[in-house]
Amino acid sequence: MRAAAPRNTREVDRFDLETDVAVVGFGSAGACAAIEAAKAGARTLVLERGWRGGGTSAESTGQIYMGGGTPLQKACGFEDDPDEMHKYLMASCGPGADEAKVRLYSDSSVEHYHWLTGHGIPFDMGFVDYQVSTMPEPGKSLSYTGSERAWPYRDIAVPAPRGHTVQNASGEVMMQVLTKAAQDAGASVQTGARSETLVVDDDGRVVGLVARVGDTEQVVRARRGVVITTGGFVHNEDMMRWYAPDLLRCGRPIAAEGGDDGAGIRMGIGAGGAAIRMDAACIVLGFAYGNRKNIRGILVNSCGQRYVNEDVYQSNHGEIALKKQDGQVYLIVDDSIYEPVPTGVDEELFSLPVAAVANTGEELEREIGMPKNSLSHTLAVYNEYAARGEDPHFHKERCWLQALDKPPLAAIDLRVENTPYSLFTLGGLRTRPTGEVLDTDGAPVAGLWAAGRSASGIPAQGYNSGLSLADCTFSGRMAGVSVAGTSN
C-alpha cells in the first residue's frame, strides 16, 4: 500500500460518500473521537478496516492512567492533586514531554473519569496492595502502574496510584462500551473499509480520503476534517528499521493482528504532517509481573553492576535495559524469592529462563562468565546495606530491601535475546492538544487531526501502564471536539 502520497481533488472525479467528519480507525481513540464529534452535531463516519472495532485497545487489560483526585482514588483513601500528577508525568514522560498535553490531561483527568464512567465504563472500587501486585484483582480497579513510589519520582511528586483498570481487566468490555456509545451518539461505522490515502485540495487542505471496501474504491469527502486513529507502527518492519532499528531486537510487539502498521502516520506525513519522536517506545521487561517478590532481587548488567532501582515500573525497565545496558541484564535472586512457575499470570508470557544457579556470588559470577570480584562484590555491598534497610546507590524503597543471603542464588536471564521484551511505539504525528496535526514548521495541516498512538502524545518517551489508553481516549475526545467545531 502506498499511503504517503495523497490524492489531489483534481484526480477525484466523484465523492461516493459525504460526511462532516471522517474518523480512520475504531480503536479507543477513534471511538472517543467519534463520540465527541457526533455529540457536537457533526455527521460522523468511522472507517475501520477490521470486521469490527476494538483494535489494540480491545486486546489490552483496560488500564487507564487517571488521577488528580478521581472518585476511585478517593474511595480507596488516596489523596491526589492535578499538580502532583502533572509533576510526575512531566518527569516520567520525558525527556521532552509535551507540557501542554500533560497539563491539560492532569487538569482534566477527573472530568475524564466521569466521562468514561458516564458512558458506562465500569471500575471496581478497591485498591490492589502495591507490594502484592500492580495488576487489578476482582473487586479492585486501582493500582500503582508507574514509578510514583520509586526514586527519584517520589521526591519529585507526591505519589498516588493512578492505574484505573476496567472491571475484569477487560479491554474488550471497554471497547464494547465505547463503540456502542459512538453509534448511540449517531456516528456511522463502516467496517471492512481500509483507508488508503488522504485527498487534498490545491491548497493542501485535507478534504477527505480514499478507502477500499472489498474490491471497491470509495472516495469519502469529509467537510470538516479527517481524524487519524490507526495506532502506531510496531507491525511495520520497514518503518521500524528506518526510524527505530534498535527496537527490532525486542521480540514481542503489543498490537492487534493486522493493526499498528503505521498506515495512518504515513498518510499524515504524506499530507504534510511532521512525525516526531519516532525512536520512542514503550518497552516492557515484566520481570516482576509473575512474581512481585522479584523486585527484592537485584538487576545487574553484564559486568555484574547494578544499574537501576528495581522498583521502577516494569515498562521503564525494558527501555533502560535495552537502550542503556544493550539488553544484557540479569535478575539475581535468592531462594527466598525464586519461584519456578509464576502464579496467577500467563505462564508462557511470564516464565523467565534461568541462566545459572550457585551457592555463592563468586560461583554465580563464574557460571555466567562475569569477571571475578564483580557480581560478588555487588552482592556483598547490596546485602550489607539492605540488611540495614538502606540502598545508597539506587534508593530502592525500603519495603523491597532484603539481603540476598538464602542460597542457592539464581541468575534469571533477562537478556533481550532470551526474554522477549514487549513493545509498542510512541512516536507519531506532531499534534496540538486539540489533535490538529502540525507540519514541520509548526503550522496546522488544514483538515487533519490525529489521536492515540498515531500521534506523539502524553507518553512522549517514558511510559507508565495505562498512559496509552488514557492518551488514546482523551486525545480522541479532544480531536473529536476540535474537528466538529471547525467550520466547513
Residues that bind a second copy (CB under 8 A): 1-5, 8, 10, 94-96, 202, 204, 238-239, 241-243, 245-246, 265-266, 269-270, 272, 274-279, 303, 305-306, 323-325, 371-374, 377, 381, 392-394, 430, 439-443
Question: Shortest gap between Cβ of 428 and a second copy (angstroms)?
Answer: 12
- Name the residue nearer to a second copy (CB basis): 54 or 208: 208
Grid cell at residue 324:
542503556
Question: Shortest gap between Cβ of 96 and a second copy (angstroms)?
Answer: 3
- Name the residue nearer to a second copy (CB basis): 8 or 360: 8
Q: Which of 294, 309, 342, 282 is nearest to 465 (CA)?
A: 282
What values do phi and psi take at 160, rounded to 5?
-150, 145
Question: Shortest gap between Cβ of 322 and a second copy (angstroms)?
Answer: 10
- Prior bond to 408 cis, omega within 30? yes
For 177-267, strand residue ranges (E) read 188-191, 193-200, 206-213, 216-228, 252-253
- Name the residue nearer to a second copy (CB basis): 93 or 178: 93
Question: Shortest gap between Cβ of 324 and a second copy (angstroms)?
Answer: 4
Which residues touch 204 (CB under 8 Å, ≥6 apart)?
A: 271, 272, 445, 446
Q: Which of 31, 35, 33 is nearest to 56 (CA)?
A: 31
Identity (one letter) of the amino acid at 372?
A: K
Number of C-beta neighbours around residue 201 at 10 A: 16
> In 3-state terms, the chain is what percent helix, strand and coil (to 5)?
35, 20, 45
Question: Shortest gap between Cβ of 162 and a second copy (angstroms)?
Answer: 24
- Name the residue nearer to a second copy (CB basis): 244 or 355: 244
- Name the residue nearer to a second copy (CB basis): 94 or 120: 94
- Name the residue nearer to a second copy (CB basis): 54 or 457: 457
- Name the residue nearer to a second copy (CB basis): 274 or 401: 274
* 145 three-state secondary structure: coil
Question: Shortest gap between Cβ of 376 and a second copy (angstroms)?
Answer: 11
Give me the helices (H) in 369-431, please: 375-387
Grid cell at residue 175:
471497547
